Amino acid sequence: MVEITEVQEIGNSTDEEKVSGKVEIKKKSLKSRKRKKKAEKAGKRLLKQIYTLDTKHLIAKVGFILNQIPRTRDNDKLLTVEIYKTFYRDFLVDGDKIKLDDLLTLPKSYEMQRYRAHIQNVLGLFRASPDVQKRRKVRRKEWREDEGSILSPPVEVFTTECGSDSPHLVVASLWIYDRLKNHSILSEFRDFKEKKVKNHRLIFSNTTKRNIEMANEFFDLILKFSDFIGFKAHIFHDYKEKVDSVHEAYLEHVLESMDDEVERNNIKLPKSLSIIKSSSIEDEGNILEHVRSHMNKIMSGKYDNNVFIDQFFSIDTESSPLLQITDFFAGSLHYLYGNKTPGKKLKDKLACEIMKKLKISTRTCTPKRGSKKTRITII
C-alpha cells in the first residue's frame, strides 16, 4: 500500500507540474502578444509622425532619416551626420563643420544609435541589410534571404480605395519618384494646413461650400512637384466578380502600376517601394504583411530581385497630406465614373476641376493625350 501511495503522489505531483507549466506558457504567450501589440501601436505612431513631419522628438528624427536614406540603416555614423545636416543646420559652419562647444548641445550619437536599434529591433521598421543584421546579431524570423538589400532611396506610393460598398471599385495611388523631395513636399503641406485648414476636413467625401476652394488650393500644391510624381488608378467595374477582396485589387493595382512605371522609365532599377495605404478595418492582423510578401515573390521573379517592397502599412487618411491628395483623386474618379454626366453638385464641380488639373476626361475617366504622368486602367 505504501508503494502505491508513493506512486500516486508522484503521479499527482507530475500532473500539477504539467498544469503549472501550461499556465506559465499561457502567461508568456499573453505577455508576448501584449508586447507585440504595444510595438505595433508605437510603430504606427512613429510612422504617422514621420509622414506628417512631426519631428520634434529625436526618435522621430531618427525614423525620418532611416526612412529617407536607406544607407543609414547600416551605418550609425552616417545616420548621425544626416540627422545633423537635416535637422540641425543652424549648428553647421560652412555647411559641413560643427564647433566642439556645440557638441554639448547637439544630441549624442549614442542616443541616435539607441533609437535606431529600438526602431529596427523592437518596432521592426527600416531594417538593416542581412549582413549587417548578422553582425549586429539581430535575427528576425520574417527576414528572408531573397529580400535583398536595395539601398537607393525608395519610391513612395500613397494609395487608397473608394467604392468598396458600390458596384465599381477605384484603387488609386500617388507615386513620389524622388524620395529626397519628400521633405520639401511635406513642408509645403504642413505650412498650408497651419495657415488655412485649421478645423476643416479635407477629404473628397466631406466636400462643402466652406472647403471646396481650399481643397482646390490644397490639390494644386502637389502639382508644383509634377516632375517628381505620378498618378495611377484601376477602376474595377463590378469588382466583386473580378477580385476576391479589396486587398487583391490593391495587389493587382501595384503590380501593374509598377510594370507601367518601369516601361515608361519613370523608375530605374534596382528600386525598393514603400507603400502607405489609407487604413481600413480590413487591415487588421497580418493581412498587409501577407500582401507585401506575395508582391515581393512575384516581383523578385519578374524583375530578377531588382524590385523590393520595403514597407506596406496603413495610416489614417487625414494624418497624411499625400494620402489626402490620393483620396481626392480616387474620390473624383469614383464619383464621375458612377455619374457619366456631371451635374451641378459641389462634388461634381470639385471632381471635374481635379480631373481637369490632371488632364483626365470627365466623360471617359481616361487620361487625355499628352498626360504622361497619369494612367487609368478600367477592368
* 88 in Cβ contact with 106 (< 8 Å): yes
Note the pLDDT of residue 131: 82
Q: What is the pLDDT along the chain (379 residues), one digit of tens a residue?
A: 334 344 444 445 556 555 555 556 666 677 777 788 888 888 888 988 888 888 888 999 999 999 888 889 999 999 999 999 999 888 888 877 888 878 877 888 888 888 898 898 888 899 888 888 777 764 444 433 444 455 567 889 999 999 988 989 999 999 998 876 777 888 888 888 888 776 678 899 988 888 899 999 999 999 999 888 999 999 998 888 888 889 999 999 999 999 988 888 888 888 888 899 999 887 877 888 889 889 988 988 888 888 888 888 888 898 889 999 999 999 999 999 977 677 788 999 999 999 999 999 988 888 988 777 789 999 8
For residues 271 and 65, give the distance between their C-alpha atoms in angstroms, rounded to a whole number: 18
> What Cα–Cα distance (Å) separates residue 90 from each residue in 58, 96, 337?
17, 11, 51
For residue 367, list its beta bridge partners.
360
State the sign of the Cα–Cα–Cα–Cα dihedral 325, 332, 365, 172: positive
Give the strand order in the sheet containing 374-378.
307-315, 271-278, 155-162, 169-176, 229-236, 374-378
Give the up-direction half-sphere exposure of residue 357: CA atoms within 13 A in the CB hemisphere.
24
Model pTM score: 0.70
The third-level CATH classification (topology) of the domain covering 155-378 is Nucleotidyltransferase; domain 5 (3.30.420)
Three cell numbers written together for 204: 473628397
For residues 366 and 132, give the distance between their C-alpha atoms in angstroms, rounded to a whole number: 46
Note the pLDDT of residue 264: 86
Phi, psi of 101 (to 5 degrees): -65, -30
Map out the domains of the chain as residue ranges: 1-139, 155-378
Angle, vertex CA 319, rays to CA 317 and CA 325, nearest 5: 55
Note the pLDDT of residue 97: 85
Note the pLDDT of residue 11: 47
